[in-house]
Amino acid sequence: MISYVTVGADDIPRAKRFYSSFLPALGYGIEEGPEGLSYALPQRPGQPAVSPEFYVKPPFDGRPASVGNGVMTAFQARSQREVRDLHAAALAAGGRDEGQPGFRDAYGAHFYVGYLRDPQGNKIALFSNDPDAPGRDG
């Protein structure tokens, strides 16, 4: 099980504007500290933490943040409409479009996804895979 994902960012306020445009709608809370941003799903009393957490931080080595070629973090939305709404909110908050929300021939008939780049260039996917929602084939 993946426990957490960290992406690098040189401009934390700009990254906060981007990630806070959609992660709270997916249930993530935010903690901000001198080391960056920590987004986590709520923990129920007496239960273990819900994974994965998502961190946005300046690189520990002090060098500029860079993106990984082929690296992407995907967040599951509750519906196709939520994918569209959150994709639009993330674009308005400084993200770059990397693929408008919709179906992709390479994935299952109900896999609905939109792609973005955060202000640093990290690739993000927002997706829904609801078998009860209208699918690609009808």
> Which CATH class for the 4-59+71-128 domain?
alpha beta
CA atoms of 102 and 8, how far apart (whole Å):
28
pLDDT at position 2 is 86
Q: For 86-122, how does the pLDDT look when each residue is reduced to its tens digit (9 = 90+)?
A: 999 999 999 999 999 999 999 999 999 999 999 999 9
* Of 1 and 36, the one with more pLDDT: 36
Strand order in the sheet with 96-103: 72-76, 123-128, 112-117, 96-103
Query: What is the pTM for the complete model shown?
Result: 0.92
Query: Given pLDDT bands bounded at 50, 70 and 90, which one contains residue 43?
Result: confident
DSSP calls for 79-132? SHHHHHHHHHHHHHTT-EEEEEEEE-TTS-TT-EEEEEE-TT--EEEEEE--TT
Q: For the chain, what percent of residues have pLDDT higher than 70?
A: 99
Tell me the pLDDT tens digit for each residue of 72-84: 999 999 999 999 9
Q: Where are the domains of the chain?
A: 4-59+71-128
